[in-house]
């Protein structure tokens, strides 16, 4: 049975931990508002750009002169999964859920006879992926010192990915991240990034009107495709940042409440032990006095 001194020390220790988790919750809540605003502001632009690129891709006839980012390599044997996670933990299952989605996608591709590699953005996925897919991480982008991801960081990742694609390191690239909805819901997403999937062309009633482009579609795509890769990665970074702070705020709130429950239980136990010790001393004093 723990002594009163040990129980008191444990109570003080849990109270110290509770102060830390409460402070972390407040910090995450303060950062969440700004991160949410950035994610929501970037989402319409990224979605619209992806739609425009996909629509333009459906209007051209793919040939040798077509941009490689839409024409592909002529094969789909080798796949690259870009896994975007946070660099820090203490955010519940946020990072784990993204890695699980990427792992499930990789296992599906491997079952189809494809070769799968990974590109890591954020360090939390690296250890897990190395355990399940040793030697399959071919690149990483460290974001430990990046407090607020900017477009230049996404551009650096996109340039590296495109260079690897054009040098024949892989045939298809997928982007894994968590789409932020609220502090409780961050949905893991796996989107095909390279090559671009052409949109389905509508026909008949309701089909879009004919549009002439100047310059032609292929010239526009040659300029937009690399930018689209960077924008989609930038969106993933913004969504992840908002999702991380939301998940961390929820996790620290739960930890703070759990610490409070533990303190209550320990204090009840401490009071019982203290009362038992006092009762024992009184019985000994009374017994001694009667013996005299």
Whether residues 49 and 109 fall in one domain: yes
CA–CA separation, 272 vs 4, rounded Å?
10
Give 78's pLDDT tier (boundaries 50, 70, 90): very high
pLDDT at position 117 = 93
Residue 205's pLDDT is what? 43
Instruction: Give the model confidence (pLDDT) of 48-59 as tens digits.
Output: 888 888 888 877
Q: Which token pair is 39? A: 């994610």
The tally of domains found in the chain comes to 2
* pLDDT given at position 2: 64
Asked whether residue 203 is domain-assigned, the answer is: no
Residue 32 falls within a domain, yes or no? no
pLDDT over threshold 50, residue 134: yes
Same domain for 50 and 70, yes or no, is yes
What confidence tens digit (pLDDT) does each residue in 184-241 have?
Answer: 778 899 999 988 888 764 444 444 445 566 666 777 787 888 899 999 999 999 999 9
Does residue 52 or residue 77 have the better pLDDT? 77
For 47, the 3-state DSSP assignment is helix
Q: Of the candidates 232, 235, 222, which has an alpha carbon nearest to the alpha carbon of residue 69?
A: 222
Are 155 and 269 found together in one domain?
no
Question: What's the CATH number where 240 sits?
Answer: 3.40.1380.10
72 shares its domain with 182 = yes
Q: Which pLDDT value is given to residue 275?
A: 86
Supply the range of the domain harboring residue 285: 4-20+252-291
- Please report, for the domain that includes residue 285, its CATH number: 1.10.287.80
Mark whether 153 and 283 lie in a shared domain.
Answer: no
Let me know: does 137 contact 119? Beta carbons within 8 Å: yes
Inside any domain, residue 216: yes
Q: Which residues of 254-267 are buried (b: 16+ CB within 10 A; e: fewer)?
A: ebbeebeebbeebe
**Same domain as 259, residue 238:** no
Cβ(103)–Cβ(66) below 8 Å: no
Q: Residue 205 domain-assigned? A: no
Query: Rounded to the nearest 10 degrees, what angle do helices 217-291 and 94-111 cross at?
Result: 130
Q: Are 107 and 143 within one domain? A: yes
Are 152 and 9 in the same domain?
Answer: no
Assigned domain for 27 exists? no
167 and 275 in a single domain? The answer is no
Same domain? For 79 and 163 the reply is yes
Indicate if the pLDDT at residue 282 is higher than 50. Answer: yes
**In b/e form, how buried is each residue of 71-95, taking b as 16+ CB within 10 angstroms?**
bbbeeeebbbbbbbbbeeeebbebb
8 Å CB contact between 270 and 4: yes
Q: Return the pLDDT at 209.
A: 47
Give CA–CA dist 267/264, Å, rounded.
5
| Residue 29 domain-assigned (yes or no) | no
Residue 25 included in any domain: no
Q: Contact, 253 vs 32, CB < 8 A?
A: no
pLDDT mean over 134-143: 87
Residues 261 and 227 in one domain: no
Task: Evaluate whether residue 130 is within a structural domain.
Answer: yes
């Amino acid at each position: 049975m723990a002594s009163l001194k040990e129980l008191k020390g444990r109570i003080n220790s849990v109270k110290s931990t509770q102060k830390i988790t409460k402070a972390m919750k407040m910090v995450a809540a303060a950062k969440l508002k700004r991160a949410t605003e950035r994610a929501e502001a970037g989402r319409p632009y990224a979605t619209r750009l992806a739609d425009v690129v996909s629509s333009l891709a459906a209007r051209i006839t793919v040939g040798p002169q077509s941009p490689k980012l839409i024409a592909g390599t002529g094969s789909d044997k080798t796949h690259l999964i870009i896994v975007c996670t946070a660099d820090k933990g203490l955010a519940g299952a946020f990072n784990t859920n993204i890695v699980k989605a990427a792992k499930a996608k990789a296992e599906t591709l491997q079952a189809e006879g494809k070769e799968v590699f990974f590109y890591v953005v954020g360090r939390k996925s690296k250890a897990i992926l190395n355990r399940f897919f040793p030697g399959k991480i071919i690149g990483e982008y460290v974001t430990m010192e990046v407090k607020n991801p900017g477009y230049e960081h996404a551009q650096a990742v996109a340039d590296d990915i495109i260079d690897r694609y054009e040098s024949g390191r892989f045939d298809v690239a997928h982007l894994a991240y968590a789409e932020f909805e609220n502090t409780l819901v961050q949905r893991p997403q796996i989107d095909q990034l390279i090559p671009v999937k052409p949109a389905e062309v509508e026909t008949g009633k309701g089909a879009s009107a004919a549009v002439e482009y100047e310059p032609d579609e292929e010239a526009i795509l040659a300029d937009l495709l690399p930018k689209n890769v960077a924008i989609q990665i930038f969106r993933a970074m913004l969504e992840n940042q908002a999702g991380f702070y939301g998940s961390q705020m929820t996790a620290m709130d739960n930890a703070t409440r759990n610490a409070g429950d533990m303190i209550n239980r320990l204090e009840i136990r401490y009071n019982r032990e203290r009362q038992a010790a006092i009762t024992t001393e009184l019985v000994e004093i009374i017994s001694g006095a009667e013996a005299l």
